[in-house]
Amino acid sequence: MFLKRAVLALQALLAASLLAGAALAGPVVNSGHIESELVAQETGIAPGGTVYVALRQKIIPGWHTYWRNPGDAGEATKITWTLPAGWKAGDMVWPTPKTAKLGPLLDYAYEGEVFIPVPITAAADAQVGTTISLTADVFYLVCEQVCVPEEAKLTLLLPVVAAPAADPKWGAVVGDVLAKAPKPAGLKAVFKLDGASLKLAVTGGPLKGADMAGAYFFPYSPKAIEHAADQVVDRGPEGLTLSLKPGYDFVGGGTAPAEVAGVISTKAGAWEITATPGEPPATAAGMGPPPAEKAAPDGKVSGGLAGALLFAFVGGLILNLMPCVFPVLSMKAASLAGHAHDAGKTRLQGLVFLMGVVTTFLALAGLLLAVRAGGAAVGWGFQLQSPLVISGLGLLMLLVALNMSGVFEIGASVQNVGSGASAQGGATGAFFTGALAVVVAAPCTAPFMAGALGYALTQPTLVSLAVFLALALGFAAPFVAVAFMPGLLRLLPRPGAWMDVLKKGLAFPMYGAALWLTWVFAQQSGPIALGQLLTAGVLAAFGAWLYGVAQNRRAAGKGGMVSMIIALLAVAGAIALAASAALAAQPPTAVAAATGQATPLGPGLTAEAWSPEKVKALQAEGRPILVDFTAAWCVTCQVNEKVALSGSKVADAFKARNAVYLKADWTNRDPVIAKALAEFNRVGVPLYVVYPKNGGAPVILPQLLTEGMVIEAIEKAGA
Where does residue 3 rank: exposed (0-12), middle (13-18), buried (19+ CB within 10 A)?
A: exposed
Residue 266 Cα distances to 173, 214, 271, 272, 534, angstroms:
22, 6, 9, 12, 48
Indicate whether 367 pLDDT > 50. yes
By mean pLDDT, which of 81-90, 125-134, 528-537 is the weakest? 528-537
pLDDT-based confidence at residue 244 (cuts at 50, 70, 90): very high
Question: What is the structure's pLDDT at 315?
Answer: 77
By mean pLDDT, which of 69-78, 81-90, 386-395, 487-496 is the weakest? 487-496
By mean pLDDT, which of 61-75, 241-255, 410-424, 501-515 is the weakest? 410-424
pTM of the predicted model as reported, rounded to 2 decimal places: 0.43
pLDDT-based confidence at residue 2 (cuts at 50, 70, 90): very low
| Position with higher pLDDT, 25 vs 391 | 391
Sign of CA pseudo-dihedral 538, 543, 546, 547: negative
Question: What is the structure's pLDDT at 392?
Answer: 78
Indicate whether 374 pLDDT > 60. no
Indicate whether 343 pLDDT > 90. no
Q: Which domains does the chain have, with CATH numbers?
A: 21-180 (2.60.40.1250), 184-286 (2.60.40), 304-386+411-507 (no CATH), 592-717 (3.40.30.10)
List the beta bridge partners of residue 149: 141
* Type of residue at 395: L
Task: Render pLDDT for 398-443 as a digit per residue (tens, 0 to 9).
Answer: 887 887 788 887 644 333 333 333 333 466 777 877 787 777 666 5
| Position with higher pLDDT, 694 vs 449 | 694
Residue 248 Cα distances to 222, 231, 255, 417, 524, angstroms:
9, 17, 11, 55, 40
What rounded mean pLDDT belongs to the chain? 78
3-state helix, strand, coil in the chain (%, to 5): 45, 25, 35
Q: Which of 394, 396, 388 lies closest to 579 in space, CA to CA?
A: 388
Instruction: Please tell me the total number of residues recorded for the chain in this structure.
Output: 719
pLDDT-based confidence at residue 72 (cuts at 50, 70, 90): confident
Where does residue 131 rank: exposed (0-12), middle (13-18), buried (19+ CB within 10 A)?
A: middle
